[in-house]
Amino acid sequence: MEIAFFSTQSYDRETFDRFRGDHRLHYFSASLDEQTVRLAEGFEAICVFVNDRLNGGIIRHLAGKGLKLIALRCAGFNNVDIAAAAEAGVRIVRVPAYSPQAVAEHALALILTLNRKTHKAYNRVREGNFSLERLTGFNLHGRTVGVIGTGLIGSTFARTIHALGMQVLAYDIHPDPELTFAEYLPLEELLRRSDIVSLHCPLNASTRYLIREETLAWMKDGVMLINTGRGALVHTIDVIEALKSGKIGFLGLDVYEQEEHLFFRDLSETIIQDDTIARLMSFPNVLITAHQAFLTQEALDEIARTTLNSLAEYQAGQPLTQELGRQ
């Protein structure tokens, strides 16, 4: 079977090639959008990532060119017009769980780095500066963390921080009964009580701009906010204002609402035209990584195995285990 892969990096190609079997994989580094849609014409199946844009127009166009299956090599699907795909008879599979530990551990890494300022200490020592001035952190043990979204990743994160002796508050419309150590609360109360707030919920109509001026006002002054979910969970301009006022004392982001124009690219020799992210990067208490949380070898292997298994099921006419809506 021939499959077109979009938004591919070297690690995608290396991993998928190890598990490809008889499939013929065509790799494109470009993201799938209105300008690149012609690259996907004639393929029965395409494989896309978080920043590929599959709106109704693109899906209908490709369905008319023979597209039957969209394979998302990620868990989220907010970048796909699900209704348009159903109307066009295009099926969708995804990777609902690849390595929740990878994302949970990265969220913890953001917390530890922001708190203990290890990135600043590293740069200082490299320059021969061994001063400890302005590197004071705080003990995580005994602090209160609010976990918003306790699916596979959020629950893994909750267990990880609980093991460090932190008090865990949680918010989810579907509480996890196995998180017996966590106290589930309404969103407002969680935000009022948390020293650290970590976002692990999907992006949908009810969670878009969950963190905005109104909800930021509920938080403690100097709160640490971590987002490894989706960029549009936070209203970036409101967050910048909260940084300026001191309401947010630390901000760790692995996602950004306009990241499709920036992330997964080397822009070190260009002038970045996005004034919003430039303003974020100007704060000394902000740490941004470029959608890196998933990037472990274990996660890459599981993404490849699950995606290629779905393609094999489709080719064999079998039920699609990971079809959207079946999990």
Residues recognised as catalytic: 230, 259, 291
For residue 268, give every residue at least 6 positions away whose Cβ sits within 8 Å of its Cβ, in sequence order, or none: none
- The helix (run of H) or strand (run of E) holding residue 13 is helix 10-19
Q: How far is CA 254 from CA 136, 161, 263, in A?
A: 24, 18, 10
> What 3-state DSSP class applies to 248?
strand
**Distance of alpha carbon 292 from its chain centroid, rounded?**
8
**Tokens at 277, concatenated:** 């992210």
Q: Which amino acid is at 229?
A: G
> What 3-state DSSP class applies to 235?
coil
DSSP state of 30: S
- The helix (run of H) or strand (run of E) holding residue 159 is helix 152-162
CB 153 within 8 A of CB 103: yes
CB 320 within 8 A of CB 326: yes
Residue at token pair 């952190």: 137
How many distinct helices (H) and strands (E) make up the chain?
Answer: 11, 12
- Rounded to whole angstroms, the Cα distance separating 191 from 146 reads 7
